[in-house]
Amino acid sequence: MNTFFLSPCHSLEMRLHSLLFVFFLYVVAQTNLYAQKQFTPKSGYIGIGLGPSYLVGGNKIYQGSGTGLNVTLLNAGYTFYKGFGVNANWSGAAFVYDTENQHNDTQGNFHSDKSHHEVSLGTLMVGPMYALDLSETSRLDFKGRLGRFYMQDKSSSSFGELTYESSALSWSLGTTYQKRIGQWVALAISADYHKGRSWEESGDRGVGLVNLSAGIAFLL
């Protein structure tokens, strides 16, 4: 099993710890140099965040996945020349939901079975970035990336338990809005779309992951 790409928010305990950690960083940031009126320009940042996730497209099994949770362990960027630079993203997402399957057996009898799904996803990607300065304290980044997209689906039903996994080269588009609240700290809101592949009996099929997140960025 490729544990490197497993979602970091697979359990409720991890989710609560992540929420408390980001809240703590937010409180620290609010008290950090808020009185500063002049900000020195910064070329890069390293951030973390969390927020809701959504699965789009792909197998109809995932259409009932609802809202998941994502944790961004690395949201980094660095500009080299007139706003152009590079960015990197390492994130994981988790979905827990139930589906109902309807089918006929070999004798033509109708059956309805429920399945429980635990879906974990992970992305690790890098690519180009363009940073647009909106003011002295705010900016908007536009990003494109290539990298790995990992997906695992653990399902259980009256037929037993199954685990499907897939890992493939993928692409991603995203944007991040930053609002500086200190010389070295900014609030960051991100929206990312990752294009990956899901496992099906008929083979692989494209699936999209939308991550919305809010967190803290440490400026470089």
Cα separation, 131 vs 43, whole angstroms: 10
Residues 54-97 have pLDDT tens digits of 988 766 566 677 899 999 999 999 999 999 999 999 999 999 98
Q: 220 in helix, strand or coil?
A: coil
Q: Which residues pair with 144 in a beta bridge?
A: 173
Average pLDDT, the chain: 81
Q: Is the dihedral of CA 75, 72, 144, 148 positive or negative?
A: positive
User: Any idea what the Cα angle at residue 2 is, between residues 13 and 208, rounded to 5°?
Assistant: 80
Q: How many CB atoms lie within 10 A of CB 187?
A: 19
pLDDT band at 112 (very low <50, low <70, confident <90, very high): low
Q: Which residue has the tokens 């939901």?
A: 97
Q: Is the dihedral of CA 40, 42, 48, 50 positive or negative?
A: positive
- Picking from 12, 32, 7, the residue whose alpha carbon sits closest to that of residue 217 is 32
Q: 132 in helix, strand or coil?
A: strand
For residue 96, what are the CA distances in angstroms to 86, 90, 156? 34, 21, 12
Domains with residue ranges and CATH for the chain = 3-34+41-101+111-219 (2.40.160.20)
Instruction: Compute φ and ψ for 4, nearest 5 degrees.
Output: -60, -35
pTM of the model: 0.76
**199 pLDDT higher than 60:** no
Q: Both tokens of residue 135?
A: 């003011």
The reported pLDDT for the residue numbered 8 is: 47
Contact (CB, 8 A) for 199 and 151: yes
- Picking from 10, 158, 159, 132, the residue whose alpha carbon sits closest to that of residue 71 is 10
Q: DSSP character for 82?
A: T
Q: DSSP character for 63?
A: G
Instruction: Compute φ and ψ for 36, nearest 5 degrees.
Output: -65, 130
Q: 27 in helix, strand or coil?
A: helix
Residues 7-44 have pLDDT tens digits of 444 555 566 556 666 666 665 555 555 544 577 889 99
